[in-house]
């Protein structure tokens, strides 16, 4: 590690040469992230309807399609409708634990091929197989760890039974969430992520956190907005009223 020591020594010497441009500190952080996260959760438990309304508004503003159902039992119906509309026959899903339900019994019976990324799979063969499945599938169904109202953003953590490609390779992405996932501001996201990293054993198992704000888009040709350049062309969010 000589390279590292030498490199950092040089930086240290440069840093020591100047007091800087003005006195400055990083952003103040929650002293106890877990506690701060709990406070946010309690606040939102009381005012979630407003947060949900804001989420819907912002999500639709970025071309997201919002659905609302009474219970998890109604989710397969919505997914079926989207699949039908898109002419999709293959669906990939997260494991039932992070997703909240298993779509196979209800959708499999109707001629749709539903592949579930079971938790615990991590072999090379499983990886290659899953990639081919996800690349073929027209629809990917995931859970959603945080739904950020301020920007209409779905935040997904990768991990066991939560592959990254489910929300990336299929043309249409469907995320399922309930009121306990709602957050109001990026600041609150910061608190949640601080809490997550302070106690990684609890929920942060994967290496990736993805913020999804609407479908994939580009304006690289003559500034003409075009959707679905690499990622999904359509993003749906299904809100489940009874967690």
Partner 1 sequence: MSESPLAVPFPERAGAALQDAFLQQALAIATTKFIELRKESFEGFPQGEALRDRARAIKEATLQRLDFYLGQLADSIERLGGRVHWATTGAEAREIVLRLCRDKGVRMAVKSKSMATEEIDLNEALEHAGVTPVETDLGEYIIQLAHERPSHIIAPAIHKTKGQVAELFSKELHGDFAADPEVLTAVARKALREKFLQADMGITGANFAVAETGTVALVTNEGNGRMVTSLPRLHVAVMGIEKVIPSMTDLMVFLAILARSATGQKLSSYTTLVRGPRQKGELEGPDEFHLILMDNGRARQIAGTLREALYCLRCGACLNVCPVYRQIGGHAYGYTYPGPIGILLTAMLKGTESVKDLAHASSLCGACKDVCPVRIDIPRMLIELREHLDRERIAPWPERMIFSMFKLILLSPALFHVSAFLGRALQIPFVTNGRVRRLPLFFAKWTRTRDLPPIAAKTFRERWKELD
Q: Which of residues 39-98 bind partner 1 (CB under 8 A)?
A: 58, 62
Nearer CB in complex with partner 1: 109/207: 207
Choose, by CB under 8 A, the member of 186, 202, 241, 242 that binds partner 1: 186
Minimum gap (Å) between residue 12 Cβ and partner 1: 4
Q: 228 in helix, strand or coil?
A: coil
Nearer CB in complex with partner 1: 84/197: 197
Angle at 186 between CA 33 and CA 161, to 5 degrees: 75
113 beta partners: 90
Q: How far apart are CA 57 and CA 51, in angstroms?
A: 10
Instruction: Give the interface segment with partner 1, choosing from 48-56, 84-92, 98-106, 225-233 (CB under 8 A).
Output: 225-233
Distances, alpha carbon 9 to alpha carbons 18, 75, 129, 198, in Å: 15, 57, 47, 29
Q: 192 in helix, strand or coil?
A: helix
Task: Give the x/- contact pattern for partner 1 in 162-181, rule: CB under 8 A.
Answer: -xxx--x-------------
Task: Give the x/- contact pattern for partner 1 in 188-217, rule: CB under 8 A.
Answer: -xxx-xx--x-------xxxxxxxxxxxxx
Minimum gap (Å) between residue 76 Cβ and partner 1: 23
Footprint on residues 7-46 left by partner 1 (CB under 8 A): 7-12, 14-15, 17-22, 24-30
Footprint on residues 100-159 left by partner 1 (CB under 8 A): 117, 119-122, 126-127, 130-131, 135, 150-153, 158-159
Sign of CA dihedral 163, 238, 241, 209: positive
Instruction: Give the interface segment with partner 1, choosing from 67-75, 78-86, 100-108, 220-228 (CB under 8 A).
Output: 220-228
Nearer CB in complex with partner 1: 60/150: 150
219 forms part of the interface with partner 1 (CB under 8 A)? yes
Distances, alpha carbon 69 to alpha carbons 73, 153, 156, 222, in Å: 9, 19, 21, 40
The DSSP line for 99-141 is: HSS--HHHHHTTT-EEEEE-TT--SHHHHHHHHHHHHH-SEEE
Minimum gap (Å) between residue 211 Cβ and partner 1: 4
Angle at 137 between CA 135 and CA 143, to 5 degrees: 100
């Amino acid at each position: 590690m000589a390279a590292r020591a030498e490199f950092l020594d040089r930086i240290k010497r440069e840093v020591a040469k100047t007091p800087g441009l003005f006195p400055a500190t990083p952003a103040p952080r929650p002293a106890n992230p877990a506690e701060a996260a709990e406070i946010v959760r309690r606040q939102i438990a009381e005012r979630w309807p407003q947060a949900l309304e804001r989420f819907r508004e912002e999500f639709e503003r970025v071309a997201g399609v919002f659905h609302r159902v009474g219970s998890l039992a109604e989710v397969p119906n919505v997914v079926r409708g989207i699949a039908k509309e898109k002419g999709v026959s293959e669906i990939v899903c997260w494991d039932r634990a992070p997703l909240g339900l298993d779509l196979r019994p209800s959708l499999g019976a109707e001629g749709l091929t539903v592949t579930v990324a079971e938790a615990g799979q991590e072999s090379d063969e499983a990886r290659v197989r899953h990639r081919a499945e996800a690349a073929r599938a027209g629809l990917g169904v995931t859970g959603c760890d945080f739904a950020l109202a301020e920007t209409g953003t779905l935040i997904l953590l990768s991990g066991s039974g939560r592959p990254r490609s489910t929300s990336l390779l299929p043309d249409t992405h469907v995320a399922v969430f309930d009121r306990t996932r709602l957050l109001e501001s990026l600041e609150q996201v910061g608190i949640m992520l601080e809490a997550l990293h302070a106690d990684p054993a609890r929920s942060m198992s994967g290496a990736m956190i993805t913020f999804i704000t609407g479908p994939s888009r580009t304006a690289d040709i003559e500034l003409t907005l075009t959707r679905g350049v690499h990622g999904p062309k359509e993003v749906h969010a299904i809100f489940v009223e009874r967690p």
